[in-house]
Structure formats: C-alpha cells, structure tokens
Amino acid sequence: MQGSNPIPSWAMSNKLFEMTYKTFRMLRDEGLDKTLFAIKYVIRRYKIYSKLRKGFYLTDEERQQQSSRVFDYSPKISIIIPLYNTPMRFLKELFNSIAKQSYGNYEVCLADGSDGAHTDVGEYVRGLAASDSRIIYKKLDENKGIAENTNAAILLSSGNYIALVDHDDLLSHRALYTVVERINETGADFLYSDEAIFNNTPSDSNSIHFKPCFSPDFLRCCNYICHLSVIKRTLLDKVGLYRHEYDGSQDYDFTLRVTEQAERIEHIDIPLYFWRVHAGSVASGIGAKPYALDAAKRSVEAHLERVGLKGRVEFSRAVPMLHVEYEIENNPLISIIIPTCDHADVLKRCIDSIKEKTTYGNYEILVVENNSRQKETFDYYETLKSDEKISIVFWDGAFNFSAINNYAVKFAHGEQLLFLNNDIEVITPNWLEEMVMFTQRSDVAACGVKLLYPNDTVQHGGIAVGVGGSAANLCPLFPRDNDGYLDRLAIVSDMSACTAACLMVRRDTFEEVGGFDETLAVSFNDVDLCLKLREKGYYIVFNPVCECYHHESLSRGYDNKGEKKERMEREKAILVEKWKKYYPPDGCDPFYSRNFGENAVSYDA
C-alpha cells in the first residue's frame, strides 16, 4: 500500500537492520559511488566521535593529576547561567557536571526568570547554595528575556573570567581545567572550545563541531564560536553586556563585539561543552526560534558598521547561515593570467566562458604562451587579436608555473591579479565580484573559490596544510549540492591556502612577498604563496558561493609516476622543510582541526 512502512516494527528498533536497509536503498537510488562515499564518511565519523565522546569524563588518574596541579595563575571562573523554567532533570545533570570539575576556583552565578509554576527551580538551587558558597542565586521579579537574564547573572559575578553556559547543557569534567591551562600558556582574554551535540547522555552525541582558529569571515556567516565561550573580565568591561534587542541571537552579537576588541583569541580543539538537543533548543534547529534569523542578520550588519566595512548581509543557500556582499570600491582592473601550452580547445572553452558569463566589466586577459607546437593553437591566437581585453605574452623557457606567472605579472596592468588555469570553466556569472570584494580589503590578500569536476563533485574546497604528508584539497568528491561539514562548502571561511587554479591576489601583497617561489616549479607553489601571505598577517578567503569547473590537469597531466612523481616529491620536501610549523609534531593548520587526522586526499595539482 502506498505510504505504508515496508519495515516491520520489530526491525525498526534494530539499528543494524535499519542501517542495512538504508544502505541498500541508497545503493538503489544513488548508485555505488555515492553509497561507498557515504559509508566511508560514516566510518570515519564513528571512529573520531567515539574517541572524543570519552573525553567528557575523567579517569581517576586524570582527575588526581589535574586536581593537584598548581598553576602560576589560578583565576576565578564565574560560570554564568540564566534560568527559565528549567526541566529539573536537565538542571541536576548540569550541576553534576559542574561539581565534577577538576579545577575548583569557580563560582556559579544564576539569575532565575522562571514563572510561578516552576518554583522547584529556585528551591533546588537554594538548597545547593546553602551548602556551597560558590553558588550565587537570584530570583528575578520577572522574565526579561535571555539577554537581560544573562546580564543579571553576570552582575552577580566576581570572577577574573566568565564562562557562558546554558541551563540545559553540560560541561566536560575537564572544561575549566583546560581553559585555565590555556590561559596560563597564552594569556588569552577570549577563549572558545569545540562542542558536541547530544540527546540524553554525552555518550550518545552524534555530532561534534570541530572549529577552526579565529576566522572572521566564517564568523560573519554564522556564530561558529558559540560554546564554550570564556571572556576575561577586563575585556567584558570594555565590550559591555548583552543587548536585549538581539534576543535569539544575543550570543552572536556579543561574540562579534568581543572578537572586535579581544587582544588574544584562543581556540581549544577539544569538545569541552555538550549541547543538548530537545524541543525548543536552538540545537534542535533554527525553526525552534525563527526570530533568531532576523537578529542574526542585524548582528552582522551592526558589526560591519562598527569595523568600517560596507556590505549587504543576505541569507546564504544554507539558511540560517549568512553571506556578505561587500561593496566594491573604485571598480579595480582585474588582470586574468592564463598560462597555456597547446590544447587550443581547452583554452577556448576557458576564455569563452569568461567572455560569455562574466558580469564584471573591468578586466583584462593575459594568455601566457609556453612552447606550443600545434598549428591550431596559433590559429586560435589569431582570432583573439581583435579583442582589446586580451593580450598574448610569450614565455620560451621550460614549464615552471611560478616563473611563468611571475613573468606575466610584469605585463599586467591590474591592481588585482587572478591566476587561472587554462582548464577552468566559469559557472558563476559574478565570479569576479565574489573574489575582488574580498581581496580589496586591507586584511585579505587572496581569495579562492569552489572548483568542481565535470561530474559535479568537488575538486577543491580549500586546502589544509600539513595533511596527507604535504597539503590536501578539502572535501574531495563531495556532491556539488552538499553543504559540507559545518556548511563549509556553502559559506565563506578563512583558510591557510587555496589553489592557484583560480586564485585572486591583490597585486601589492603579491609583490610584498616576492611572488611565487620559482624553486617550486609545478606543485605547492600556490600553498607556499598563501603561507607567505599568512605570515604577513593577511587572510586567505575561500568563497564557495563562487563556482567553476576544473577540467583538472588537462595541459600538464598528472604527477603520479616517473620523473614527474620524483619532481613532485622534491617540491613536497621543500614545502615541508620551509613550513614546519604547519606539520606535526611542530604544529598544525589553524583552520583545519587536527581531530580530522588524515581525512583528506593528497594535493597534487
């Protein structure tokens, strides 16, 4: 019968049977490749999550070690909790997680806006406060909303730092210890941690938010910082309290203001906060609080005005995530540099897509000819001569991507340089606008985009450095319409590197770092360029709103055997030696969680 459930009720309770059924259904509907991709993803996630879920608890040895440690600086942490009609089970579990903290110099400040039908909340907390002077409770005359209730709790506090906690969530037993340890190491005035989503107990969490280090462009798209947030008292005094006009996204507004003023922001890549999913919580979906959408948008608009950036805030395709359309100033000339060798049909497809789809008018194209031999190639060049936007530059030396592009820049007139492979095909009409609106900013040096294989799977979703033995393209083979982990394939974020198959770089920053390193003739030169720019303090933006097809390596071919493979290994060694700080054991990519391990493919293009 149509609409009936083909699975017997006894089988629905059997998770193995249910997973098997879903696998066969996906195999039937989606095909083998997507099914295998999904299976591998689930297995990787299970291994990662099962390890980190255990981190909620402390072993006896860990507890003894942490409790007995004497820090050089032992700040008092004020745990701020606004209460409102809190279910008693949730409240008891929260207090139990606080009582089991291995770091003891804390206080718990609670402002209770519960109504008359929930007097049990106050009775329970008063009972705890009677035996523990670290618990400070105030019953509010009325519920003033989440922002004002939080402010009331903050005003009760006396700690050196405040930690913001919701009334229905849990703290890992190592949370405060880990925060204080990092404060002693860095002197940070704002810290945030990874977080896990759970239903009933921490051990059933099936989603963990592995966050990057501070990423201002990612933050302008969503409040990825969220929980656990810990703020130094002096920074709080400078920033001010929560603002009730942003109720629903009050944390977002507060976080934006805090990060604008913070002197040292630290990310702790351990899930110290366990965020409970239940009806009415934001963790269950934005639909639980639809008014939060408008407040989030207004939060970012106010932030842009404060920091002096002009732009329009819109909802991204991954609602409730946001996308900022920055105002492009002075209509800068963009020089599109395309090295090429034969394969005239490939180059023609690239240039035709630029001419037919591009909505930005102020650009020039420099075709850099490198030792072509086919008559068809030079015949095609003849057809380009009538286009005043296109010029041809000749490089007679052996193929060296870095040297070719450095040479071509001398002939470019633009203040913005777009390095483009000849096998790129434009998809997004406003692709140039989506890049230049970032590279025009003084704090950004380069912008890369999402690149797709012709079969509409992801080829490039940004680059993680220190992964795969050198560097790795992220999200390989994800379906084009997949938003990716934490929507990273749908919204803008900052990366350590992006591929120069399509990379816009502001000319002054390119020249500041000396351009491409010509000892890296073919591979990793773009990674090296981005890391040099990062060392100067600039951001590298990945903008997946802009998409292009990458008919990868059609001109050069792959580097998977013989002399090409040996050359790539030599260049990999140069990169690793030069940038040890991004490689274990010395360090890691700040924008790629080490919790993912080797969950990426080696970068070889």
The verdict on residue 229 lying in a domain is yes
pLDDT tens-digit map of 4-35: 344 444 344 455 555 666 667 767 766 776 66
Residue 67, Cα to own-chain centre: how many angstroms? 34
Which of 254, 285, 316 is a domain's end point? 285
Question: In terms of domains, do 110 and 222 share one?
Answer: yes
Does 483 or 242 have the greater pLDDT score?
Answer: 242
CATH number at residue 161: 3.90.550.10
Establish if 501 belongs to a structural domain: yes
- Nearest to residue 530, comparing CAs of 569, 600, 593, 582? 582
- Please report whether residue 592 resides in a domain: yes
Q: How confident is the model at residue 292 (pLDDT cuts 50, 70, 90)?
A: confident
| Sign of the CA dihedral with 255 first, then 256, 261, and 265 last | positive
Do 121 and 165 belong together in one domain?
A: yes
List, for residues 186-203, the tens digit of each pLDDT value: 999 999 999 999 888 877
Check if the beta carbon of residue 506 is closer than 8 Å to that of residue 445.
yes
Q: What is the pTM of this model?
A: 0.88
Domain count, the chain: 3
Looking at the chain, how many residues does it have? 605
| Whether residues 70 and 218 fall in one domain | yes
| pLDDT at residue 266, as a whole number | 98
pLDDT digits (tens, 9 = 90+) for 343-386: 999 999 999 999 999 999 999 999 999 999 999 999 999 999 99
The verdict on 272 and 358 lying in the same domain is no
pLDDT recorded at residue 94: 97
Dump pLDDT digits (tens) for 511-566. Answer: 999 999 999 999 999 999 999 999 999 999 999 999 999 997 544 444 566 787 88
CB 102 within 8 A of CB 58: yes
Confidence category of residue 106, pLDDT binned at 50, 70, 90: very high
Strand ranges inside 33-92, DSSP E:
77-83
Contacts of residue 497, defined as CB under 8 A and 6 or more positions apart, other chains included, come to 462, 463, 465, 471, 526, 527, 530, 531, 540
- 261 and 362 in a single domain? The answer is no
Does one domain contain both 272 and 254? Answer: yes
Q: Are 232 and 250 contained in the same domain?
A: yes
Q: What is the pLDDT of residue 603?
A: 33
Last residue within a domain, chosen from 252, 285, 318: 285
For the chain, how are helix, strand and coil distributed in percent, rounded to 5?
40, 20, 40
Q: Say whether both 114 and 174 belong to one domain.
A: yes
Angle between helices 32-53 and 15-30 (to 10 degrees): 150
Take residue 330 and report the two structure tokens written for it: 């002075």
Element (H, E) at 124: helix 119-131
Question: Do 250 and 142 lie in a common domain?
Answer: yes
Regarding whether 493 and 433 lie in a shared domain, the answer is yes
pLDDT of residue 47: 61
Domain with 150, as residue range(s), is 64-285
- What is the mean pLDDT of the segment spanning 466-489? 87
Is 318 within the bounds of a domain? no
Residues 277, 348, single domain; the answer is no
Model confidence at 472, pLDDT cuts 50, 70, 90, reads confident
Examine residue 322 and state whether it is found in any structural domain, yes or no. Answer: no
Residue 239 shares a structural domain with residue 167: yes
Q: Is the pLDDT of residue 289 over 90?
A: no
Q: Would you say residue 223 lies in a domain?
A: yes
The pLDDT assigned to 9 comes to 42
Amino acid at site 112:
D
3-state secondary structure of 53: helix
The answer to whether residue 436 scores a pLDDT higher than 60 is yes
| Spatial distance between the Cα atoms of 39 and 42, rounded to a whole number of angstroms | 5
**Residue 314 counted as domain residue:** no
* 316 assigned to some structural domain: no
